[in-house]
Amino acid sequence: MNVIITKEEILNTPNNMELGALVRNKMWQEDRNQRGPQFDDEQFIIIADENGLVTKISRGDEIFETCILCGKVTDVLIDTDINYRYGYVEGAGQCCKECFEKK
């Protein structure tokens, strides 16, 4: 790995400690560029249907619907179109699978 520091960067850096920090930051950036994007610190939610097929992958920052009958948090994201929801009751809202199948 090569890290390039220009003469201008050296002259514009007020002290050796900051110059060391600049070099270190450039080194870490170059290391990240060579390794490519990393996803270790991110969480994803995978939603599958009853057959085990993935229906949606989400970053986890979305909010899930709550069942209108029992108050349990469902696996249905708020931004899911009602035409693609299982357990949605038009005019009332989202039910969890258990409550929807009881009716």
Q: How confident is the model at residue 40 (pLDDT cuts 50, 70, 90)?
A: low
Longest dimension (CA), the chain: 75
65 is written with which tokens? 């619907």
**Is the pLDDT score of 95 beyond 90?**
yes
Give the single-character DSSP code of 83: G
**In 1-103, at which residue ranges do the beta strands (DSSP E only) sit?**
45-48, 54-58, 64-66, 73-77, 88-89, 93-94
| Distance, CA of 96 to CA of 100 (rounded, Å) | 6
Q: How confident is the model at residue 68 (pLDDT cuts 50, 70, 90)?
A: very high
CA 33, distance to chain mean position in Å, is: 21
